[in-house]
Structure 1
Amino acid sequence: MPTSLRYVFRRLVQALPMAFAIVLLNFLLLKLTPGDLADVIAGESGSATPEFMENLRRLYGLDIPVHLQFVNYIQGILHFDLGYSFRQGMPVGELILERLPATILLSLTAILVALVIGVLLGVVAARSRGSLLDEAISVVSTMGFATPLFWVGLMLIVLFSIELRWLPSAGMVTVGADYRGLWDEWLDIGRHLVLPAVTLSLFFLSIYVRITRSAMLEVYGLDFVRTARAKGLTEARVVIRHVLRNALLPIVTVTGLQLGAIFGGTVVVETVFGWPGLGRLAQEAVFSRDVNLLLGIFLCSSFIVIVVNLAVDLLYAALDPRVEVRQ
């Protein structure tokens, strides 16, 4: 077996105890919070007798000890069963698979926009260090980092949806639209994607600008850059082949961390724009005390973080020959 495959297998095996700890921690935290699904249903009904509450807890399996509930949940996971969402009336696995593509589309689009524009602005700021352009880029990036996502989203809705009427304000597709082909459907999804993707990307874009600028300035002072210039290479070749490539390593690290942490941002953005993804589904599960659904979403998010971190380690070795993947 090749070294890279052995490394991937070893990392996946090491991730099993981590995944178990994450499931246990999430389960305990949700159980420690006051109230449960029966309390929510009783509150919605306006009144409930002790017998009614007891029947509800028996129906939803809340009357057995917590440790037995956890054992049952782990057994379900081992059989690829994440439980049943009584509020949504569907298996949790089907709900997650139904909403996951929308969240992946939003997250990857936002990260791609932030990465491309952030790196370009960071390179421009580093090349024009100390100039008015450098100061302007720094000010704009600081504003993007400090501005709350929900406020940015609301302002974009006011400007582009209400005032200019250029883009839709909510949803993923136009309700009742009669598409003539696949291209029309993709175009409609793209129009709905613009505002939430731009909103979500602003925060990460600001981080990429600052990291790229700092990494570029650090690499500029190294000996191999002066050697490349002494060989007569053009400045563009020096920047792209030597400076930027070495400056990408911290950017790759931050990208891996952001892909793992972007779920927190999607909760806010999906709620503001009515985007039908996992973030909005998690918010609905919190308010309805749908523990099975929340645990399934947390487990899915944790798995994505583990896979992304593994991919980042492999990408490190591809970008920098000094980094080796060992068994």
Structure 2
Amino acid sequence: MNYVINRVIYLLAVFVIAVSGIFVLVNNMPGDPAYGLAVSIAQQRNMQIEQALEIARSMMGIDPDESLLTRYGKFMSNLLKGNLGYSAFYNTSVNDIISKSLPWTIFVISLATLLSFVVGIFLGALAAQKRGTVIEWIISTVSSIIQAIPPFILAVLILFVFSVTLRLLPLGGAYPVDVEPSFSFEFIYKMFLHALGPMLATAIPQMASWTLAMRGNTSQVMEEDFIRFAEIRGLRDSVIAKKYIRNNAVLPLVASLAIGVGYMLGGHTLVESIFNYPGIGFYFGKAIAVRDFGLLTGLFTLIVIGVIAATFIADFVYSLIDPRVKLK
């Protein structure tokens, strides 16, 4: 119980430090956070930009003469109430944007995480068990090359080859505009097809990372004394590989899984923007492009919460699958 309390306190401290850093960074960016909304108001009401700025600041609750410390206090107060801010560009709360975009991102990241982890673990173990062979060389070389490719570059390649050239995947969106959302097979199939591009662009680099990590862990475990003892006992290679090598080699990667999820959540921005997929990353890219400071701060905060939550969960999962680790 003491471990849980200490861990919660530690993660809360990390959260406060991270969110405070995000707030200071975003609020010191050049430009006026109300300017985007002011331009829209000026166009709609045919008024001067100075007047529109006053209206926009009033709508967003911004006082230009207010100190950074006062704004920080209001931000943290709203955050404790579950309010992540206001988007000037979309003229709505950040919570509303997250509520409609987060499910799409979770859908893609869940598929990408499952695919990359399972396939990466299998290929990494295979490469280690085939040391010194052509199979290991191919898996290791291809994985090293793929790992060096940024996800957004891979997204452009996938979009060009499979969407533009071969026309196998849609060009963008979460589902076709002419298909009504439902639990029908047609809608689910179309939804999966639209998610396939961003999912592959996110999963493939991560798959390469898991492959190389698993190969290194497996090679290390194969040199342990208990593996030699199992061989002396006359156990079959398949039993040793499944029960002794793979199970022990995959354990350290479970803790890294939370970091992988956080990387996907944060690095998914340009991928969703390229595929015009309406997830968190799409709105993140839009917030940067139009300097929507409120939306940017709220989405940054969401990513921090996601990474911290994944880390907290990983601690318990690791203790459950590894009997040598106890929560104290």
User: TM-score w.r.t. structure 1 length?
Assistant: 0.91
Which deviates more from structure 2 when the two are superposed, residues 282-291 or residues 122-131? 282-291
CA apart distance, 1:299: 1.5
* Structure 1: stretches of 5+ with no match in the other structure: none
Q: Which residue of 2 aligns with 1:273?
A: 275
Q: Which residue of 2 aligns with 1:62?
A: 63
Q: Does 1:305 align with 2:307?
A: yes
**Matches of 1:17 and 1:31 in 2, distance apart?**
21
**Residues 37-48 of structure 1 correspond to what in structure 2 (within 5 A)?**
37-41=33-37
Which one of 7, 12, 17 corresponds to residue 21 of structure 1?
A: 17
Q: 1:38 to 1:78 in 2, by over 3 A?
A: closer
**Matches of 2:78 and 2:16 in 1, distance apart?**
13
Give CA-to-partner distance per residue, 1:38-80, whole Å, 9 cap, x none.
Answer: 3445667699565554554444313222222211121112222
**Equivalences, count:** 322
Q: Which residue of 2 aligns with 1:199?
A: 201
Which one of 24, 27, 30 corresponds to residue 31 of structure 1?
A: 27
**Matches of 1:38 and 1:93 in 2, distance apart?**
18
Q: Is the 8 A contact 2:39 2:52 kept in 1?
A: no
Q: Does 1:79 align with 2:81?
A: yes
Q: Is the 8 A contact 1:92 1:296 kept in 2?
A: yes
**Residues 1-327 of structure 1 correspond to what in structure 2 (within 5 A)?**
3=1, 7-41=3-37, 50=50, 53-60=53-60, 61-63=62-64, 64-178=66-180, 181-326=183-328
Amino acid at match of 1:96: I
Q: 1:62 to 1:203 in 2, by over 3 A?
A: farther
User: TM-score w.r.t. structure 2 length?
Assistant: 0.90
**Matches of 1:164 and 1:30 in 2, distance apart?**
41
Q: 1:169 to 1:53 in 2, by over 3 A?
A: closer
Amino acid at match of 1:155: L
Amino acid at match of 2:13: P
CA apart distance, 1:287: 2.2
Q: 1:12 to 1:179 in 2, by over 3 A?
A: closer
CA apart distance, 1:135: 0.8
Q: 1:305 to 1:89 in 2, by over 3 A?
A: same
Amino acid at match of 1:22: A
Amino acid at match of 1:162: V
**Matches of 1:71 and 1:178 in 2, distance apart?**
44
**Matches of 2:193 and 2:59 in 1, distance apart?**
44
What SS is found at the alignment partner of 1:306? helix
Q: Is the 8 A contact 1:84 1:293 kept in 2?
A: yes
Which deviates more from structure 2 when the two are superposed, residues 299-308 or residues 43-52? 43-52
Identical positions, percent: 28
Q: Is the 8 A contact 1:37 1:288 kept in 2?
A: no
What SS is found at the alignment partner of 1:34? coil
What SS is found at the alignment partner of 1:37? coil
**Matches of 2:87 and 2:150 in 1, distance apart?**
32
Give CA-to-partner distance per residue, 1:295-314, whole Å, 9 cap, x none.
Answer: 22122111111111111111
Give CA-to-partner distance per residue, 1:234-266, whole Å, 9 cap, x none.
Answer: 111101110111101221132221112222321
Which deviates more from structure 2 when the two are superposed, residues 171-180 or residues 98-107? 171-180
Amino acid at match of 2:107: L
Give CA-to-partner distance per residue, 1:128-178, whole Å, 9 cap, x none.
Answer: 111111111111101101123222222222222233222212111111115
Q: Is the 8 A contact 1:126 1:213 kept in 2?
A: yes
**Matches of 1:107 and 1:129 in 2, distance apart?**
32
What SS is found at the alignment partner of 2:295? helix
